[in-house]
Structure 1
């Protein structure tokens, strides 16, 4: 018996030592990674000499997405991309305004003789941002400098930018993937029924479809009709712009699914030949052939063993002289609107209101441009921002709203105090409506034998997610939602000089493209960020000005941990997906891409002005 216990004790002792060894190895690996990240950040933040480029191309090797306001320092993302490769880079966020400013400075830089668009790792952005980047590319090309687009293949977003090029190269085995736009949303009423979850919906607005996934298993006819209108409008805007760039008609650019099939049959299914024959690209060339063409245009750098070019991430144009001109504040509302402080990828009501207040109290700031790119969110947080913006306007500082890809629901709510609203023709806006959702789990718990009981001084006090919703609270909630909707209508009506009844006819949660919003009187002008800035200067009577960008720099610890997070995201999913069944992987991906379902919406009254489908166009 003693021998048996000795064997058992020895087994557990060695098992414990093995676990300690594994734990120490993992902790040491994380420590080494942390040290590498910290050292890399230190060297990345050190001042560098200007890039030694005599003459050559600006290589726009975009990696990742383009957003109004990146959540992480661009330089650190670039360092992570160089350390971990393209998989990390595809998680990178690039600033739209930094990109456009760089292109405009390169246009007048005598050392930059042309531009090369290398878009293989560009994952996308909204159509309004694409149009703004395209404007800068057009300005560059109109300066007389050539623009080349190179790619193994082009998806729709990549091809939009490539269409601005003087010449488009495509790999002989590549494709230009034009197929149209679609939205797809997960509907899970049956799942909630199976789980015996009681979903209580309170809403106003025929087209307020944000709650439909919880109460239906498919799209309602009203939502289908509304979404078909704006999705079709987005696609037509895409075709018109790209076709004009390629000197084609929209029908030539995309002859429909039948026309594409006929064209592919004519070239025996060769997608590259189809693109060349239909003038989607200018030349089919391998990477070696493209390199020879670019060498003729820009020369060869023997030291780098590559063409004479500098990456857009390394390009350092001459610094702009400082001045003491009056300022126009640029404040961002980028992402879902939540109560409290800002979180990465969201708009914090308190954070944004504090920035507006700071601009209001700063005598050097003479006007405010609020850049809105948001599907909305919390009604409470939206009102906090709106009130502060109204106070700035009342203080005599003109407020101009520049709408990006979307300024819907709460995004439009915060825009109402503006003196002037500028939207892109492709902006998704409107969606004027409110809803509330309360889930209770009394039936789910009942199924496993768990019950809740107690006493309360009134039905309104007897609220718990483990009990049925009191009828009195449900009635009160619906009244609250209806009151909020009337408030929303009143705010819009006052701002747009219309009656609430007139606004109600174009509200009801209806999503509008910018061009339709203009005809309906919801915005003042179709344009871009430049137009908004010019209007702010005009209203403030400023002959000259400088922009004051309200972008907070993250702390050093934030930078380290955000970079570590990007590194883990870049490496871990691929390793784990091999162990996960394919159907579960597909479901997880779809749920992750579902906008709004898993965001931190935290309105204290459970009231939301949110457009679920606005960010779900593929």
Structure 2
């Protein structure tokens, strides 16, 4: 027994020593980072790697918050601030192998132009581009002063392919009946369950999106490279172009290896110039007395509720209605905040969640605080719902938005289970609709009730858009019916106010808040972004094994293909439980 207690005491002592050492290690990192700022060189060349995976907005919780990972909009704001930093001489970009996304390429391009207009240089290097993701990999660096490519590599700037998966054939094989009803013909998300290929309205909408994005990209690239759109289109649609040939065609400026390009950038930066990663760059900050503009970010599927987890490995939902509504209300209640920028990057989700966020915007507007929406890559369906009541809406030309519509129903799985030998019997009280969301198909009465509910949801969505946009119900219905628009087309049909990026939204917020044009505001982020120490506090109570497993799971769920599968399954589960959905159709940009 004595040996047992001694062993236990030794194990406990070892555990406490381990925890103490881990805590000390992290504290040394944090204290060291905060107390010893490295001396900034007199000449800085910022560097940015477009192959790095970045969310649109910085994480506000979970393990990612502990590392201080920035979001895409943080890089835009830092690059903008660097324009006034005399020590920053230029920017060196490592181009992406695959597409960055059309909307993100557009925002990067504008940021590069603005940076160059401030008198600084931009050199970009690519080790080749792949025929995946459309023109965005090249589009995102086309505005650079010089574009280098590694010898022997190929420049591939393909058109756009939108690819959608359809499950009807699978459902027929396993005897599952999808009873999912769209409002209306362009609300094409349910087609993945109800069809085996595109319907005519679905194909029409997809083709219009692809053509709009391709033409926008071609126009920007042609302007940046001093070429005609027609000649550029003919060249790019010809397929792979060897780097050496691309230089002759004026699509590139030089061939060389990454080290040679970075050395050229440092040489242009001047004596003693050093590369500083934009991720770690400390941009000049406005004074504490500078007027404040709040930035509230929502990214991903719009869902109800929030996150109660304190674990550093459990990231809160990016677009949870409790979290986002509270952030908007808190920003509205802060007298120092003069305006709110709501950055939306979402394909949609729950109409109930979207309505809660919309109401929060209405509440702060009633107190006289302007709300400006900046649309990212996606602000469609539920993403548009939460935007519709804003004082001003900006979208990139390549943003996908609109998709004003709704769908719902269920998946009747009884037939498939019968084939496995599983049968059902029922006793129902409380009326015919009590058993509507069971395993069998809807009765006529149940189907009519579900469609009535969806029509009411559609009407509410349209009325909210009509009130926010100063349109009639019929005018909104004409451009709604579930159809997805690019930002450029959304401007034409009255769904957005201006084509512009996040930085343009900052300027619009200054205007609506009566902040003088030459004043740089302080951007404050809601929800609060935890510091490294705050995120670290939640580390205790997590075992080493649990931490390792959580980190691996976090990496897995960050994979875009896994995310798409999870979102698809979540949508099907929500529909099957009787929840209506306002989600844009799913497709991959290739």
Using the size of structure 2 for normalisation, the TM-score is 0.83
The separation in 2 between residues aligned to 1:41 and 1:183, in whole angstroms, is 48
Preserved contact between residue 204 and residue 485 of structure 1 (Cα < 8 Å): yes
Q: Which residue of structure 1 lines up, in the alignment, with residue 110 of structure 2?
A: 135
Say whether residues 1:260 and 2:238 are aligned partners: yes
The separation in 1 between residues aligned to 2:22 and 2:74, in whole angstroms, is 27
Q: Which residue of structure 1 lines up, in the alignment, with residue 536 of structure 2?
A: 556
The separation in 2 between residues aligned to 1:371 and 1:78, in whole angstroms, is 22
Structure 1 stretch displaced more, 158-167 or 434-443: 158-167
Summarize deviations over 1:54-88 as a string: whole Å, max 9, x none. 32422223452343313368996896xxxxxxxxx
Paired residues in the alignment total 547
SS in 2 for 1:380: helix
SS in 2 for 1:541: coil
The separation in 1 between residues aligned to 2:507 and 2:263, in whole angstroms, is 43
The separation in 1 between residues aligned to 2:38 and 2:403, in whole angstroms, is 48
User: Please, which of 76, 83, 95 is the counterpart of residue 107 of structure 1?
Assistant: 83
TM superposition shift of 1:464? 4.9
Q: Which residue of structure 2 lines up, in the alignment, with residue 332 of structure 1?
A: 297
Q: Which residue of structure 2 lines up, in the alignment, with residue 360 of structure 1?
A: 332
User: Please, which of 385, 395, 406 is the counterpart of residue 434 of structure 1?
Assistant: 406
Gaps of 5+ in 2: 1-13, 308-314
TM superposition shift of 1:97? 2.4
Preserved contact between residue 594 and residue 616 of structure 1 (Cα < 8 Å): no
TM superposition shift of 1:480? 0.3
CA RMSD of aligned residues (A): 3.4
Q: Which residue of structure 2 lines up, in the alignment, with residue 70 of structure 1?
A: 58
Say whether residues 1:275 and 2:246 are aligned partners: yes
Q: Which residue of structure 1 lines up, in the alignment, with residue 157 of structure 2?
A: 178
The separation in 2 between residues aligned to 1:315 and 1:505, in whole angstroms, is 47
Pair 1:78–1:153, CA change in 2 (3 A): farther
SS in 2 for 1:467: coil
Preserved contact between residue 306 and residue 317 of structure 2 (Cα < 8 Å): no
The separation in 1 between residues aligned to 2:560 and 2:48, in whole angstroms, is 29
The separation in 1 between residues aligned to 2:146 and 2:417, in whole angstroms, is 64
> Counterparts of 1:66-215 in structure 2 under 5 Å?
66-71=54-59, 94-120=70-96, 125-155=100-130, 156-215=135-194
User: Please, which of 50, 55, 59 is the counterpart of residue 38 of structure 2?
Assistant: 50
> Counterparts of 1:307-386 in structure 2 under 5 Å?
308-323=274-289, 325-341=290-306, 344=316, 346-386=318-358
Q: Which residue of structure 2 lines up, in the alignment, with residue 293 of structure 1?
A: 264
The separation in 2 between residues aligned to 1:321 and 1:472, in whole angstroms, is 64
SS in 1 for 2:359: helix
TM superposition shift of 1:521? 1.4
Preserved contact between residue 350 and residue 582 of structure 2 (Cα < 8 Å): yes
Summarize deviations over 1:13-69 as a string: whole Å, max 9, x none. xxxxxxxxxxxxxxx9xx999987994686157314134423242222345234331
TM superposition shift of 1:231? 1.5
SS in 2 for 1:597: helix
SS in 1 for 2:569: coil
Summarize deviations over 1:427-457 as a string: whole Å, max 9, x none. 2111111000311221112112212213112
Preserved contact between residue 298 and residue 344 of structure 2 (Cα < 8 Å): yes
TM superposition shift of 1:376? 1.0
SS in 1 for 2:340: strand
Preserved contact between residue 58 and residue 74 of structure 2 (Cα < 8 Å): no
TM superposition shift of 1:479? 0.6
Q: Which residue of structure 2 lines up, in the alignment, with residue 24 of structure 1?
A: none
Please say which structure displays the higher CA radius of gyration. 1
Say whether residues 1:528 and 2:501 are aligned partners: yes
Preserved contact between residue 337 and residue 374 of structure 1 (Cα < 8 Å): yes
The separation in 2 between residues aligned to 1:404 and 1:77, in whole angstroms, is 21
